[in-house]
Structure 1
Amino acid sequence: MGKQVTEMLKGTLEGIVLAILSGRSAYGYEITAWLRDQGFSDIAEGTIYALLIRIEQRGLVDVEKVPSEKGPPRKVYSLNAQGREYLEEFWRTWSFLTERLEQLREGGK
C-alpha cells in the first residue's frame, strides 16, 4: 500500500474493524490476518491491538477471555449494542462522503 492509502486508512480503520466484528466475534490476530488477506498488507498487529483497546475503553465491544491452546487466554471481541449504533453512524458518514467524492470526481455535478 502506498502512503496515501495508509493515511486514508487511519481515519477508517476503526469502522472497518467494527464492521468485521458485526459479522462475528474475533481476536486481534484473527482481525489482522483477515485484513491482510483482503490486501491491507501493511497493517501491523500493534495497530489493531491498540485500536481494540480504544474501542473496548469506549464501550463499543464486549470482551471474553477464551482459553488458548498456546499461551495465555485470548481476548475475543464482539460488537455490542453501543458498537452497533456507532457502526451505523460510521456507515451513514461513509455514504455521505462517498457520494460527495463521487460528485467531485464527476466534475462537481
Structure 2
Amino acid sequence: MNPEMLKGHLDTIVLSVIDTGAGYGYAIIKEISRRSQNMLDLPGGTIYPTLHRLENNGLIASSWEQAPSGRKRRIYALTDAGKTQLRERCDHWKTFVAAIDLLLFEPVKSKI
C-alpha cells in the first residue's frame, strides 16, 4: 500500500486499535497488521511518534505496567476526548468513503 494514502488517517487507525484493547506499542503495531490482513505493516518509527502526539493532544493517556517478562512497558488508553474524537473521525470517514465511491464507481451520466 502506498504510504501516502495513510497521511491524515494514521491517528484514526491508532485510536481505533487502542479502543479495542491493544494497549502497548508493539501490540498496537501487531494489531494494525493483523486487522489490515498484513496490508499495513507499520514500523515502530511511525507508531511511537503518533502515540506521543495523541498523548500530547489529550486523546490518549499512558501508564507504566510490568510485562510478564519483567520489563516495563507503557500502556495506552483512550481518554474521553479520544473516544469522542474517534467517533467523529469514523463519521467523517464514512462520509468520505461514500463520496469517493460515488465519484469512482457510479456511472457517469451525460447531460447531453
- Alignment correspondent of 2:15: 18
1:1-50, Cα deviation, whole Å (9 max, x unpaired): 3x3xx111122111011011111151001011112223112x11111001
1:36-86, Cα deviation, whole Å (9 max, x unpaired): 223112x11111001000000000012110013243x21100111000111
Q: Is 1:7 equivalent to 2:7 in the alignment?
A: no
Rg larger in 1 or in 2? 2
1:1-109 equivalent positions in 2, closer than 5 A: 1=1, 3=2, 6-37=3-34, 38-39=37-38, 40-41=40-41, 43-68=42-67, 69-71=69-71, 73-105=72-104, 106-107=106-107
Unmatched 5+ stretches in structure 1: none
RMSD between superposed Cα atoms in Å:
1.6
The code of the aligned residue for 1:16 comes to I
Q: Is the 8 A contact 2:61 2:78 kept in 1?
A: yes
Q: Per the alignment, in what secondary structure is the counterpart of residue 26 of structure 1?
A: coil
How many equivalent residue pairs?
104
Runs (4 or more) in structure 1 with deviation over 3 Å come to none
Q: Is the 8 A contact 1:22 1:79 kept in 2?
A: yes
Task: Quote the Cα distance in structure 2 between the aligned partners of 1:51 and 1:63.
Answer: 13
TM-score (norm 2): 0.84
TM-score (norm 1): 0.86
